[in-house]
Amino acid sequence: MERLPLRLREHVAWGLSGLALFLGLWTFLTVSGVVPRQFLPTPLDVAGRFHELLTTQSAGATLPYHLLSSFKRYAYGVCLAAIVGIPLGLLMGWFRWLDDAVSPVFDGLRFIAPIAWVPFAALWFGTGIGGPIMIIFAGAFPPCLINAYRGARFVEPRLIEAAQMLGTGHRRIILEILLPAATPSIVAGLRVSAGLGWQSLVGAELIVAAAGVGFMMVQAQGIVSTTTVMSGMIAIGLIGMLIDVLLRQGEAWLRRRRGLEA
């Protein structure tokens, strides 16, 4: 069996060392009584509760059901952000008049934190699925638009000039020149959008949801079940990390396919 490269082995070793140090410090703080066990259970307590939640209901459902409910909202919000943001960004990169019309409104709205939309979403949708989707959209939309716009603006001018000399129309230039050239930038934007959307989802579920991991954590906080709260946090982190890894792999594959890296 071929041995792992030295750099990879060092990377894994340092990663495991950091994890061991973190878990050791966490255990020390709990066992020594520096932090009451009620508010900071041991890693084994949390691991045990996490395992229980896979088959035992909390806040009306098991952890996998809450995760599925959360992911459904997340998928709707991120997909909507991509469907609206990517075409709009490409069009803004091509049509200057559209850029001038949309940019002032977009620049004003994009600096509003997604969590700031929670009261507005609650007034509109209550605890229905629309509220979290709206908040996820608010977090995921700006990177989709910005990266598509930048990708379109920095296309090689000679390609556009050649197409215009041949009488190519706006539609074909956008679809056959701008979109392929901007694809790496768009994929990078989707990765950022995915992370912001997942973070926005959890914030939304803490307030405007009747199911989901965030909802489960709020209910557990009400009965001071710290192990359940921390189990939810671990589940959120693991799913977020998995999403990021998959998108990074997709981005790396696309860059290799386009010859942008070795």
pLDDT at 212: 85
Residues 30 and 70 in one domain: no
Termini Cα distance of the chain: 25
Residues 23 and 113 in one domain: no
Residues 23 and 67 in one domain: no
Per-residue pLDDT for 202 more than 90? no
Residue type, 224: V
Residue type, 228: T
Residues 31 and 157 in one domain: no
pLDDT at 261: 53
pLDDT band at 259 (very low <50, low <70, confident <90, very high): low
Residues 24 and 107 in one domain: no
pLDDT at 1: 41
Among all chains, which residue has been given the structure tokens 């949708």? 125
pLDDT tens column, 130-169: 888 889 999 999 999 999 999 888 887 777 777 777 777 7
Per-residue pLDDT for 3 more than 70? no
pLDDT at 14: 84
pLDDT tens column, 13-60: 888 888 899 989 999 988 888 888 888 899 999 999 999 999 988 888
Share of the chain above pLDDT 70, in %: 94
Q: Evaluate whether residue 227 is within a structural domain.
A: yes
| String of DSSP letters for 10-52 | HHHHHHHHHHHHHHHHHHHHHHTTSS-TTTS--HHHHHHHHHH
254 against 121, higher pLDDT: 121
Question: What residues are paired with 61 via a beta bridge?
Answer: 58
Q: Evaluate whether residue 95 is within a structural domain.
A: yes
246 against 209, higher pLDDT: 246
Question: What residues are paired with 237 via a beta bridge?
Answer: none
Residues 31 and 128 in one domain: no
pLDDT at 51: 93
Q: Which domain holds residue 194?
A: 41-257
Token pair recorded at residue 207: 């307030």
Cα 262 from chain centroid (whole Å): 27
Rounded Cα gap, residues 221 and 64, in angstroms: 19
Closest CA to 75 of 258, 253, 239: 239
Q: Evaluate whether residue 262 is within a structural domain.
A: no
Domain count, the chain: 2
pLDDT at 165: 75
| String of DSSP letters for 89-133 | HHHHHH-HHHHHHHHHHHHHHTTS-GGGGHHHHHHHHTTSTHHHH
How high does pLDDT run on average in the chain?
A: 85
pLDDT tens column, 78-119: 999 999 999 999 999 888 899 899 998 998 888 888 888 888
Please state the φ and ψ torsions of residue 261, each to the nearest 5 degrees: -155, 160
Rounded Cα gap, residues 102 and 177, in angstroms: 23
Cα torsion angle, 210, 212, 216, 218, sign: negative
* Residue 62 DSSP class: -
Among all chains, which residue has been given the structure tokens 């977090």? 139
pLDDT at 208: 67
pLDDT at 262: 43
Residues 243 and 199 in one domain: yes
Residues 172 and 200 in one domain: yes
